[in-house]
Amino acid sequence: MNPYVRDRINRKLDALGDERLYQVLDYVEFLESRYAEKPAASTNMLQRFAEGVEDKLRAGGVAISTVSETMGFLNKAVGVLNGVAEKSMSVAGGVVTAARSAVDQVGAPTPTPPAPPVVQSPPSTPAPADAISPTRPHTP
């Protein structure tokens, strides 16, 4: 998009109230559906959720000032959640990098073969005192 046209449009929009801005949004979405040369930039899941809430409020006849105020709060929450998601991804990336570095320094562990199973013989039971001994003759 031509940055000069974008700036000019933004200056014109700054002079309008919220109700007229929603009319402009509706018209832009109509133009997009009819004449878009390329798909619109994709938004993340949280932003799509916020826009869905906004559309439902407007369709339900909620006052524009209430919709604007609600969207202000919701957009702040989306911003916070996006920040948390970015930080989480950054931390996860750091953990993966550290783990790879540790593996590179130590080397991949060599697998040890499993130890053979230990076979235990059953415990021997002591022979009774009157049992016959092979070294002693048996006398009845």
Q: Are 38 and 46 in contact (CB under 8 A)?
A: no
Cβ contacts of residue 119 below 8 Å, gap of 6+? none
pLDDT of residue 125: 61
- Which tokens hold the place of 133? 């001994």
72-115: pLDDT as tens digits: 888 888 888 888 888 888 888 888 888 888 777 776 566 667 77
Instruction: Please give the structure tokens belonging to residue 93.
Output: 């990336």
Domain locations along the chain: 1-41, 42-104
92 vs 116: which has the higher pLDDT: 92
> DSSP states of 86-103 as a string?
HHHHHHHHHHHHHHHHHH
**CA-to-CA separations, 25 to 11, 18, 54, 107, 140, in angstroms, rounded:** 15, 10, 12, 58, 116
Which residue in this structure is represented by tokens 């409020």?
57
Kindly give the residue spans of alpha helices, DSSP state H, lying in the chain.
Answer: 3-14, 18-35, 45-59, 64-106
